[in-house]
Amino acid sequence: MLYPIIMAGGSGTRFWPLSRKSRPKQFLSLTGEGPLLSLTAQRVGSLAPLSRTYVVCGKAHAAMARKLLKGMPAKNVLVEPIARNTAPAVGLAAAVVARKDPAGIVMVLPSDQHVRDTAGFRRALQAAAKAAQAGALVTIGIKPGHPETGFGYVQQGKVVMKGALPVHAVRRFVEKPDLKTAKKYLASGDYLWNAGIFVFRADRILEELARHMPETTAPLAAIGKAAGTAAFSKVLAEQFPLMPSISIDYGVMEKASGIAVVPADFGWNDVGSFPALPSVRRLDAHGNVAEGETVLVDVADSVVLGSGKRPLAVIGVSGMVVVDAGDAILVCPKERAQEVRKVVEELGKRGLGEVL
Amino acid sequence: MLYPIIMAGGSGTRFWPLSRKSRPKQFLSLTGEGPLLSLTAQRVGSLAPLSRTYVVCGKAHAAMARKLLKGMPAKNVLVEPIARNTAPAVGLAAAVVARKDPAGIVMVLPSDQHVRDTAGFRRALQAAAKAAQAGALVTIGIKPGHPETGFGYVQQGKVVMKGALPVHAVRRFVEKPDLKTAKKYLASGDYLWNAGIFVFRADRILEELARHMPETTAPLAAIGKAAGTAAFSKVLAEQFPLMPSISIDYGVMEKASGIAVVPADFGWNDVGSFPALPSVRRLDAHGNVAEGETVLVDVADSVVLGSGKRPLAVIGVSGMVVVDAGDAILVCPKERAQEVRKVVEELGKRGLGEVL
């Protein structure tokens, strides 16, 4: 059986001032179609019922997640007592699933991505699930459309399972490349974007966690044992923090052998920061994303998000990000959007935590 | 006796979204020191008491002007029934002054300028008043510091009255030049900026208005006759609209003979639009004007005005204007700031008059 696990623990600052500590990007309607978390749940809706779908998130966001995903049992929102990166989060979900269904297939899905072709996305997951059933740790590799330097890559090897979507062995995972290397990857044809989507049997990932991150073995065993009992919260609060803060990529996937990848192309986009929005939203005739009561005079290739409460007028710029969040405003060129963290730091220093 | 006449009839859009129809720039604290209108009144304070100082403005702004200039008799705020450019406004003030004191010296002062050296400003006005006493129509010519293309110029001729500040004949007024011409003017040394400051006896300007704009003769005679009587408002409402909408420069000064100019240098600035603010305000180390809760990361030569109510973060730009007026926001490069009128037009079309 399939168990979608939606990873909603993120708390980045790259969408400030829209995103806040109390409302990270997975809760924002960045694509204009609804909160990213809701869209992620809808996307896997036909693969598994909400009763078998889980969300892993932080304490501060559990209530919001439960409110958004109304049909999901409240207990399926697994609350991390503290942030510990993705390996412990995946371990937690796998332990909970394995308690009832050790051979259950866990599908780890980031909550902040955009997918244009939902049917293609599901086909890729089903191909991955088939390989996972046989024991493989499987990732989905996105066929790259350009030499992106902002993602890690997966190098595919020979086909290990034939089908409409063949499954390949993974030769290696590589970190974010420089542009020259990214171009080489693109040209080679056997490098894929690592989308952070992983599919494996619950018992298999627990086995590999025990092998490559032995510090997780005892905590995950205790958590699994307590799953479904009244002691669960207490045990989770005690055991979860004992695990090291490491990503599942680094902690397991890059080290384990027998990793497989399903190369796929379903209009995938990481909704990583403001400059990514033009890829996932409707553009005006000049390549702008514009929302709210905006007045654009000779503006091109820009992201202009008004609050809807007051006019936002922009004249004569190109490649800019202008965002009015109602209680804070940001103006910056697209290529410097990552420096918004400096603003967040500075506002923190000034004691203006209410807008962070 | 001296009668300062502060011209506060302007209603431009170049400081939108700070300026509004209901609150034009002369009522804004654009230099950070108080409303421009109040500063103008203070600047002439030692030349004449408020009882002899007049303000000419539109209906919509009379109450605000009276509130700002508390010590001034309410009747000294002369209200234009409709906007008619500066010649009728000057005529109105001259007619009112002439009713009591035909040889009274009227000093026409724009309400939206900045002066660094107030003492120098007063010395120039006193020199002008002396020449005006003798019957001349006098203007103040600002010694140019750079080849400005945004102002008209006055070409000075021979000295007609000696003194610490000699008074020259005016050879001619010229319109805003192109850059090449402006450079020539600067190099020649005998071209001065036309600051729109004029000094003349009330009877003399009425005489010249009658000569060059004969349509004004009857209305101004009627208005002067009614001044100080209960019929004043009614007569003004009837007669003022009969005068043509022409500037005093074009209607009289450029046509009359015997015009004089006092060349002066008192740190004068036209506060014409956002790009002018760096000349009249304190700058940070990177040449920015910054006001409110701003967070500037690698920003230079920009004008960033926050509302004070919420953070305004700007990253990695140079030469930009970013203004949060609370209920509307503007972002544009300095050199395109004049296009803000396009925004105002568009918002008008959308029926958003409340922010215009």
Query: What is the predicted pLDDT for the residue at B281?
Result: 94
Mean pLDDT (whole number) for B199-224: 98
Are A313 and B330 a contacting pair at CB < 8 A?
A: yes
Residue B277 · residue B293 · CB < 8 Å: no
Indicate whether B13 pLDDT > 90: no
Of B298, B322, B342, the CB nearest to A331: B322
* Positive or negative torsion for Cα A25, A29, A35, A40: negative
Cβ of residue B342 closer than 8 Å to a chain A Cβ: yes
For residue A222, give Cα distances in angstroms to A44, A230, A241, B70: 29, 13, 13, 78
Indicate whether B12 pLDDT > 80: no
Mean pLDDT (whole number) for B94-119: 97
Query: What is the predicted pLDDT for the residue at B272?
Result: 87
Residue among B97, B103, B128, B121 nearest B259 (CA) = B128
Beta strands A153-161; A167-174: pairing state: antiparallel
Mean pLDDT (whole number) for B70-94: 96
Could you give the dihedral angle defined by the CA atoms of residues B254, B258, B259 and B260, in that order, rounded to the nearest 10 degrees?
160
Indicate whether B288 pLDDT > 80: yes
Cβ of residue B329 closer than 8 Å to a chain A Cβ: yes
The pLDDT-based confidence of A10 (bands split at 50, 70, 90) is: confident
Can you list the alpha helix ranges (DSSP code H) found in A49-194? 62-68, 86-100, 118-133, 179-188
Indicate whether B85 pLDDT > 90: yes
List, for residues A113-152, the tens digit of each pLDDT value: 999 999 999 999 999 999 999 999 999 999 999 999 989 9
Query: What is the predicted pLDDT for the residue at A258?
Result: 87
Question: Could you tell me which residues are beta bridge partners of residue A256?
Answer: none
List, for residues A50-90, the tens digit of each pLDDT value: 999 999 999 999 999 999 999 999 999 999 999 999 999 99
Beta strands A153-161; A289-291: pairing state: unpaired
Mean pLDDT (whole number) for B147-170: 95
Mean pLDDT of chain A: 96
List, for residues B294-307, the tens digit of each pLDDT value: 999 999 999 999 99
Q: Which residues of A touch B313 (CB under 8 A)?
A: 17, 328-332, 340, 343, 347
Cβ of residue A336 closer than 8 Å to a chain B Cβ: yes
Question: Chains A, B: CB contacts under 8 A, how many?
Answer: 122
Query: What is the predicted pLDDT for the residue at B57?
Result: 97
List, for residues A186-200, the tens digit of each pLDDT value: 999 999 999 999 999
> What does residue A11 show for φ and ψ, rounded to 5 degrees?
-150, 45
Cβ of residue A317 closer than 8 Å to a chain B Cβ: yes
List, for residues B314-335, the tens digit of each pLDDT value: 999 999 999 999 999 999 999 9
Of B311, B316, B347, the CB nearest to A332: B316
Q: Which residues of B touch A306 (CB under 8 A)?
A: 329
A304: closest chain B residue by CA: B331
Residue among B88, B40, B337, B321 nearest B195 (CA) = B40
Q: How far apart are the C-alpha atoms of A103 and A1, rounded to whole Å? A: 8
Beta strands B259-264; B113-115: pairing state: unpaired
- Alpha carbon A309 to chain centroid, angstroms: 31
Residue among B149, B153, B231, B137 nearest B191 (CA) = B153
Query: What is the predicted pLDDT for the residue at B137?
Result: 98
Q: How far apart are the C-alpha atoms of B193 and B144, rounded to whole Å? A: 6
Q: How far apart are the C-alpha atoms of A121 and A139, rounded to whole Å? A: 13
For residue A281, give Cα distances in angstroms to A29, A40, A305: 11, 16, 12
The pLDDT-based confidence of A272 (bands split at 50, 70, 90) is: confident
Q: How far apart are the C-alpha atoms of A192 and A254, rounded to whole Å? A: 15
The pLDDT-based confidence of A354 (bands split at 50, 70, 90) is: confident
Are B329 and A317 a contacting pair at CB < 8 A?
A: no
Query: What is the predicted pLDDT for the residue at A218?
Result: 98
Of B311, B315, B326, the CB nearest to A347: B311
pTM, 2 dp:
0.89
Mean pLDDT of chain B: 96
Q: Provide, rounded to the nearest whole percent, the portion of chain A with pLDDT above 90.
A: 94
Q: Which residues of B touch A332 (CB under 8 A)?
A: 297, 313-317
Q: How far apart are the C-alpha atoms of B305 and B291, rounded to whole Å? A: 5
Residue among B130, B127, B345, B95 nearest B217 (CA) = B95
Are B328 and A342 a contacting pair at CB < 8 A?
A: no
Query: What is the predicted pLDDT for the residue at A353?
Result: 84
For residue A337, give Cα distances in angstroms to B65, B331, B340, B352: 45, 17, 26, 31
Mean pLDDT (whole number) for B150-160: 96
List, for residues B20-77, the tens digit of each pLDDT value: 998 999 999 999 999 999 999 999 999 999 999 999 999 999 999 999 999 999 999 9
Complex ipTM: 0.88
Residue B35 · residue B29 · CB < 8 Å: yes
Mean pLDDT (whole number) for A220-245: 97
- Other beta carbons within 10 angstroms of residue B130's beta carbon come to 18
Q: Where are the beta strands (DSSP E) in A113-252?
A: 113-115, 137-142, 153-161, 167-174, 191-201
Query: What is the predicted pLDDT for the residue at A219?
Result: 98
Query: What is the predicted pLDDT for the residue at B258?
Result: 87
Beta strands A191-201; A294-297: pairing state: unpaired
List, for residues A200-218, the tens digit of each pLDDT value: 999 999 999 999 999 999 9
> What does residue B186 show for φ and ψ, rounded to 5 degrees?
-60, -45
Of B317, B327, B329, the CB nearest to A333: B317
List, for residues A275-294, the tens digit of each pLDDT value: 999 999 999 999 999 999 99
Q: Could you tell me how many helices (H) and strands (E) chain A has, helices first?
A: 11, 17
Mean pLDDT (whole number) for B264-274: 93
Can you list the alpha helix ranges (DSSP code H) found in A24-85? 36-43, 62-68
Q: Provide, rounded to the nearest whole percent, the portion of chain A with pLDDT above 70.
A: 100
Q: In what order do the strands lie in the sheet with A329-333?
A: A289-291, A303-305, A320-324, A329-333, B312-315, B294-297
Are B311 and A336 a contacting pair at CB < 8 A?
A: no
